[in-house]
Amino acid sequence: MFTRKQKHILLKFFSLFSVVRGYNILIIVIAQYLTSVYIFAHDKPAKKVLLDFNLLMLVLASASVVAAGYIINNFYDSEKDLINRPNKSMLDKLVSQNTKLSFYFVLNFSAIVMASYVSFNPVLFFSAYIFAIWFYSHKLKKRPVVGNIVSALLTIAPFFAIFIYYKNFDTVIFVHASFLFLVIAIRELTKDLENMKGDLALNYRTVSVVYGEQTSKKMITILIGLTLIPLYLLINRFQIGHMNYYFYGAVTLLIIFLFLLWNSTTKTHYVILHNILKVIIVAGVFSILLIDVDLVLKRIL
């Protein structure tokens, strides 16, 4: 049995884990390693990539900056989250704002130190990334369209750090990135629809608040149409192994998403839509393994 003190410490741990979205950080770390092995450095032995200390430093620096980003975002959105996510907000409040801010600075400082082990360029990149996240949370998040675009760009930025490290300029990488960017942009607009109540109460000028639900749905529909371009190219123009099955599945889910979108009117509906997009993104991370099934089998056997 846990003592009261142990329970309190455990609750604070879960609170901090909730604030930094630990599950998202784990997915990002896995995604960076998989993209390194199968896309960015596909011509190098998998073992050499996985044991690359510089790559480890870049991945840990990315994880630290993203975690810090979630903290500063939580700091600025605490009132809005209390309306939109009351249960999560109560858990997050178990850790004081001062403690959160202390972790924020520690994580960012740690990221710069880890980046410095690689070279000066990653230090510049992560310094700019830290500032961009703060500026987005402080200023840009409440601006329609601009806030959505910047948020989507910040989400894929950790992969840009790996891209710079390996200096791989294959066209397929940009096509993969464009698909991911579009799906994340769709998610951002869907989150706006999901969080309209809190956004309205605190005067967040999101697309759904300023232009209305119908305009948001039309924009999402256009973005889904645009995803068909990278999807077509990835399936028909590039060698992606069995990952094409994932993209066929993604098309199916996006069609279902579109049908549900135009029949959605409540927060619960939009939460379901948001979860569909999460499935597409997370499944996309693990489907990278399908690019080279033989490599996976060799590592297992």
pTM here?
0.89
Cβ contacts of 238 within 8 Å, gap of 6 or more = 171, 172, 175
- The radius of gyration of the chain from alpha carbons, rounded to an integer in Å, stands at 20
Q: Is the CATH number 1.10.357.140 carried by domain 18-167? A: yes
Q: What average pLDDT does the chain have?
A: 87
Q: Quick check: 300 pLDDT over 50?
A: no
The predicted structure's pLDDT at residue 99 = 83
Residue spans per domain, the chain: 18-167, 170-301
Point out the least confidently predicted range of 9-18, 245-254, 278-287: 9-18
Per residue in 180-214, pLDDT tens?
999 999 999 999 999 888 777 777 788 888 888 99
Per residue in 99-158, pLDDT tens?
888 999 999 999 999 999 999 999 999 999 999 999 998 888 888 889 899 999 999 999
- Which residue would you say has higher pLDDT here, 2 or 101? 101
Q: Are 290 and 241 in contact (CB under 8 A)?
A: yes
Q: Quick check: 290 pLDDT over 50?
A: yes
Per residue in 55-98, pLDDT tens?
999 999 999 999 999 989 888 777 776 777 776 666 667 677 88
Task: Identify the band that residue 301 occupies on the pLDDT scale cut at 50, 70 and 90.
Answer: very low
Selecting from 2.60.40, 1.10.3470, 1.20.120, 2.60.310, what CATH number does the domain 170-301 have?
Answer: 1.20.120
Q: Quick check: 5 pLDDT over 70?
A: no
Contacts of residues 18-27 at CB distance under 8 Å and 24 or more positions apart, as own/partner, are 18/88, 18/91, 18/92, 19/70, 19/71, 19/74, 19/92, 19/95, 19/100, 20/67, 20/70, 20/71, 20/103, 21/67, 21/70, 24/66, 24/70, 25/63, 25/66, 25/67, 27/282, 27/285
Separation CA 184–CA 12 (nearest Å): 30
Task: At 33, list the tokens.
Answer: 């390693």
